[in-house]
Structure 1
Amino acid sequence: MKLPAHGANPTHLLEALGLEQTNHALDFSVNINPLGPPAILKTVWHELYQHISGYPDPNARELRDLISQETGLKSTQILAGNGAAELIQLLARFLTGSEVLVVDPTFSEYASSCKSLHCRIESFALSEKERWQLRADLILPHLQGKRALFLCHPNNPTGAIYSYSEILKLIQGAQKAGVMVIIDEAFYDFCENDITVAPLVKLYKNLIVLRSLTKMYAIAGIRLGYLLADEQVINKLKACQPQWSVNALAQSIGKMCIQDQEHRKTTVDYIAQERDRVTTRLRELDYVISDSSVNYFLFRDRKKQRLDHLIVYLIKNGVIPRHTANFITLDNQYLRFSIKMKEENDQLLAILEKWRYDSFVDKRV
């Protein structure tokens, strides 16, 4: 049975499981902001109509200028893209035929994109026993012969954040070894504390930082992300990027999103409060929950080795989880759940409480 490679595809998941389609299920597999896009977008939506007939700025200069102000980097160190997915594919082209190290479990697109361009992938696995934390001294020996290291921070799917000092050791050790360090910060802006390594781009030419506007601003349909790197790296990537890659609507919407700091603050406060409430209750029910700092968490039922039956149970009760069959090292022994609105989270808690009770009463489950 081949399950879909990403969340937010409930139709494909149900087809793969041979289950009837439903129009009313809550999709906990999609990990975008539950508060939705910034309100300003609805207010000015009719004004955006004017952008659809003209060609976009091929260099997204105004958008990059705003990102420059936010990050403190030069606009020449910024590349806008048609979502982080396009930027990952550009990086894969940049690395064609190389050996690459990926810290797992993590977003599957790093490996799949690199494999499509004949890269050889080595996986370095983090473990639940170590609370999904990384140690630079264990990873650095694996950089020998590699051209790049992919690291997701905060991690997807665990939501874990890593020690700044350990990340710095990785970057410095990789620089000595002539290895690029690619850090995906797609969820950094959900964290209560500032965990970004973007300022280090000024100091380390081997550092590349990926970001997405899809998650925080709930604009998955628009497709917008950006990349921070040394100017020479930016120029090489830009040379491989299709012309007019970032459309005019995306550029306009991106500028409004980046300037809406209130939306971001409201989101961070809400996510922190709801995440603490939900994960506390799940731990009380004796589930294993990752120490997440973002808008999703990793879940394991310590009483079940695999969660195939629980996935079906959840779906039949109106909840779509994110399976982990395609996350290296997880082997579908875990599920990922996003944080949604309180009423929806309550429904998830009620279903998992019933599953715990039913599992206790009926050992056949």
Structure 2
Amino acid sequence: MNLPSHGSNPQHLFKAMGRSLPMHFIDFSANINPIGPPSTLKEKWNDFYREIMVYPDPLAVSLKDRIAVQEQISVDSILIGNGGAELITLVARFLSGKKVVIIEPAFSEYETACRANQCEIQYHQLKGPNFALNMDDLRSSISSADALFLCNPNNPTGIQYPKSTIISILEECEKQNCYVILDEAFYDFLVDYDSFIPYINSFSKLIIIRSLTKMFAIPGLRLGYMAAAATIITELSALQPHWSINTIALLAGELCIQDNEFIKVTQSYIRKERERLLSFFKQYHFVVTSTKVNFYLLRDPNLKEQIDFFDFLLQKGIIPRHTFNFPGLDGNWLRFAIKSKEENRMLMEVLKEWRYLH
């Protein structure tokens, strides 16, 4: 099967599966905030319209200033990007031809971007269902690598790695002159998250990538940022196309990063729905990862392969994210986003039906 390599755009998935897209469906494959964008964006939308005849600031000064104050770092240590995907692409170009280790399972874009830039790729595979990250197991891989990709909290498992483990990795990579690309695309779904951005001042090889599209539900605008030592940011900036980020995305970003109340409301909602779902999965004997964010991996332990389960859900209009292109998962898990209460209820009803039949 030649299934789409990303979530969302379900029409492509149904075509690949040889099925017609149903009239009514729920897309659980994209990890976007189910609450939707902050209301301030709608309130300011007419103001944004007046700005579309103005070229965007190529240096994104205003947005960088706000992020610098919020994260307490220099503006010279920040690069604004057209979503996390562009930032990953820039890093891959920066690492062109280098030896790269990817801690798997992980966002497939790391491998795609690195292969496009002739990197030599090595996997460090974590084993389910716990997907524990052990520094001792990783040390030998780091010793011969130029860069390490690590997603925390992890996509697709939703697992948050201990801070002590991340620090150990940063220390070892610094000794071995190895870059660490720490993807924090979903960090703001974590309650009381202890940011690693201050550590760019202690670890010269640390590059942190963050997305603004997931928490603020603006994937159509494309916006993210990177934090690293100023020397790294200078080199990466030189690889970025001019006018990479549009004016409306920059204005939206300025509003979003100030909306702390929206973030708190989202975190509270996700926590409550996550607890409700996990309780259900336990009751009906599904295996689920120990997620701390707005998505999770799920599997039916009665099946070695999940393709029949996947196909059944599609027939019922429930669209999860397949995992065939996640090394080590190989389609044996399905990833679901946490959606609205009603949509989550409908998922549980379909899972009850599956369990009744199996």
The residue that corresponds to 2:343 in the other structure is 344
Structure 1 segment 305-344 matched on structure 2, within 5 A: 305-344=304-343
Q: CA deviation at 1:193?
A: 2.3
The residue that corresponds to 1:44 in the other structure is 44
| Structure 1 contact 98–120 (Cα < 8 Å) conserved | yes
The residue that corresponds to 1:58 in the other structure is 58
The residue that corresponds to 1:84 in the other structure is 84
Unaligned runs of 5+ in 1: 360-365
The residue that corresponds to 1:238 in the other structure is 237
Q: CA deviation at 1:203?
A: 1.0
Distance 1:31 1:37 in 2: 13
- In the superposition, the TM-score normalised over structure 2's length comes to 0.99
Return the letter of the residue paired with 2:86. Answer: E
Equivalent residue of 2:51, what SS? helix
| Structure 1 contact 32–215 (Cα < 8 Å) conserved | yes
Distance 1:147 1:186 in 2: 22
Distance 2:231 2:180 in 1: 15
Distance 1:23 1:62 in 2: 43
Q: CA deviation at 1:104?
A: 0.2
Equivalent residue of 1:314, what SS? helix
Q: CA deviation at 1:133?
A: 1.9
Structure 1 segment 205-244 matched on structure 2, within 5 A: 205-244=204-243
Return the letter of the residue paired with 1:274. Answer: E
Distance 1:144 1:203 in 2: 20
Distance 2:143 2:201 in 1: 25
Equivalent residue of 1:294, what SS? coil
Distance 1:23 1:143 in 2: 49
Return the letter of the residue paired with 1:228. Answer: A
Distance 2:265 2:65 in 1: 25
| Structure 1 contact 185–196 (Cα < 8 Å) conserved | no
Distance 1:271 1:8 in 2: 20
The residue that corresponds to 2:175 in the other structure is 176
The residue that corresponds to 1:24 in the other structure is 24
Q: CA deviation at 1:195?
A: 3.7
Distance 1:88 1:2 in 2: 24
Distance 1:72 1:274 in 2: 33
Q: CA deviation at 1:199?
A: 1.2
The residue that corresponds to 2:3 in the other structure is 3
- In the superposition, the TM-score normalised over structure 1's length comes to 0.97
How many positions carry a matched residue from both structures?
Answer: 358
| Structure 1 contact 73–199 (Cα < 8 Å) conserved | yes
Distance 1:341 1:298 in 2: 18
The residue that corresponds to 1:111 in the other structure is 111
Please list the CA deviations of residues 135-170 of structure 1 after superposition, one character each: whole Å capped at 9, or x if unmatched: 112112111221100000000010000111111010
Q: CA deviation at 1:74?
A: 0.6
Please list the CA deviations of residues 172-227 of structure 1 after superposition, one character each: whole Å capped at 9, or x if unmatched: 10000000000000000001121431111111111010000010000000000000
Please list the CA deviations of residues 256-292 of structure 1 after superposition, one character each: whole Å capped at 9, or x if unmatched: 0001111110000000000110111011111101000
- After TM superposition, what 4+ stretches of structure 1 lie above 6 angstroms from structure 2? none
Unaligned runs of 5+ in 2: none
Q: CA deviation at 1:313?
A: 0.8
The residue that corresponds to 2:285 in the other structure is 286
Equivalent residue of 1:80, what SS? strand
Equivalent residue of 1:276, what SS? helix
The residue that corresponds to 2:275 in the other structure is 276
> Percent of aligned pairs with the same residue?
44
| Structure 1 contact 188–195 (Cα < 8 Å) conserved | no
